[in-house]
Amino acid sequence: MPANTNEPTAADLTGANLSGANLSGANLSGANLERADLRGVALAVDVVLFTIVEDQLNVLLVEREMEPFRGSLALPGGFVLADETLEQAALRELNKETGVGTLNPVPGNPRHPRHHSHRIASERSSGQAESESLFLEQLETYGNPDRDPRGRVVTVAFWAVMAGLTRIQRGSDVARAELVPVAGIESQEVKLAFDHERIVHDAVRRVQAKLRYSTLANRFCPPKYTISQLRKVYNCLWETELDEGNFQRKVRSSPDFVVELEDTRTFGESGGRPARLFTQGNAYYLNSPISPPLSLHLSQLSEAVNELRVSFDDKSGWATSSPELVGQAPADEDDDQD
């Protein structure tokens, strides 16, 4: 019986029309999906990698070297291969396009749902500094039918944090990779390909929310840091100025948030007495939340109201959710467990 010539293999799928194709059992691990004509449904991943540069929140972007959106800035990402997890796909694409992609497990209880999935995603490079370790977590799924002009592409977005990110290199399929201030994207001065502006916006809101109840701020700091450096993370992400004394009491009273390093001192940032150095503890959740400024509460409340806008059907008069907004808001802080 002749072989089914319509069955896709690991061959180059450049220009292929996947409409109605039976992908069941196909080995796509060597396929070139980037230029394929995607008439079916394809699964992709995108990564929003944050770091702080000169007290400004930055995100890692790449310039696309191929259509669609050739020459535009975009998030690192690509299609998921048949033999890898979503986390592995995210790390592979991040490393392939930017040279970044080493994972550091979530501290705390190894039975935590995020802990295991992140440990298996990648192994640490023995030559990579601790300050360049990566924290990765799933953000949201984006699947509007028209989000990709090539066809129906559903992407699973991840957000990540890396302290002291300096080693960035141009990888395959991109013209360059660079850090860009998030403020430029939020103000729409910097335009991104696909729906990546929305994804960055959602990731920023997720990080801002997690600062309230988790030890995430540690991930933006070097391996050894002062309480003042830790406070600057909150000030940067919340665009505020937290009271120094209250913040220090809150941090020091939260079990295993930070660990004081004995007999280690550095000169104070203002040239005063030496300041104590700390490192990240094993706790993931704070025993008492740190409250953001009221202005941030009001801003996020306004956004939530906008995302719940309804439109009235002219014929029936029933209120229906706006189709472009359904399922687009980032998951609530308590709904992000894997």
Q: What is the mean pLDDT of the chain?
A: 76
pLDDT tens digits, residue range 4-41?
444 434 344 444 444 444 444 445 544 555 555 556 89
Distance set, CA 219 to CA 106, 169, 324 (Å): 10, 22, 34
pLDDT at position 166: 81
Q: Answer yes or no: is pLDDT of 316 > 60.
A: no
| pLDDT above 80: residue 197 | yes
pLDDT at 319: 43
**Predicted pLDDT at 273:** 72
pLDDT of 204 above 70 = yes
pLDDT at residue 238 is higher than 50: yes
Instruction: Look at 170 and 47; give whichever has higher pLDDT.
Output: 47
- Residue entry with tokens 């025993």: 287
pLDDT per residue as tens digits for the range 119-149: 323 333 322 223 358 899 999 999 999 999 9
What is the pTM for the complete model shown?
0.73
For residue 110, pLDDT beyond 50: no
Q: Please tell me which residue, 265 or 23, carries the higher pLDDT value.
A: 265
What is the per-residue pLDDT for 299?
A: 65
What is the pairing mode between strands 41-53 and 152-162? Answer: parallel
pLDDT digits 0-9 by tens, 33-91? 555 555 689 999 999 999 999 999 999 999 999 999 999 999 999 999 999 999 999 99
Percentage of residues of the chain with pLDDT beyond 90: 54
Q: Would you state the structure tokens that stand for residue 27, as one six-digit string?
A: 């080995």
User: In this model, does residue 3 exceed pLDDT 70?
Assistant: no
More confident: 242 or 308 = 242
Most confident of 35-44, 104-113, 262-271: 35-44
Read off the pLDDT of residues 267-301 as tens digits, 9 standing for 90 and up: 655 556 778 899 999 999 998 899 887 776 666 66
Q: Are 142 and 155 in contact (CB under 8 A)?
A: yes
User: Up-side HSE of residue 186: CA atoms within 13 Å toward CB?
Assistant: 13
Q: Comparing 63-72, 100-109, 173-182, 246-255, which segment has the lowest mean pLDDT?
A: 100-109
- HEC secondary structure over the chain: CCCCCCCCCCCCCCCCECCCCCCCCCCCCCCCCCCCECCCEEEEEEEEEEEEECCEEEEEEEEECCCCCCCCEECCEEECCCCCCHHHHHHHHHHHHHCCCCECCCCCCCCCHHHHHHHHHCCCCCCCCHHHCEEEEEEEEECCCCCCCCCEEEEEEEEEEECCCCCCCCCCCEEEEEEEEHHHHHCCCCCECCCHHHHHHHHHHHHHHHHHHECHHHHHCCCCECHHHHHHHHHHHHCCCCCHHHHHHHHHHCCCCEEEEEEEEECCCCCCCCEEEEEECCCCECCCCCCCCHHHHHHHHHHHHHHCCEEECCCCCCEEECCCCCCCCCCCCCCCCC
pLDDT of residue 320: 40
**pLDDT at residue 263, as a whole number:** 57
Tokens 């396009």 locate to: 97
Comparing 114-123, 138-147, 242-251, which segment has the lowest mean pLDDT? 114-123
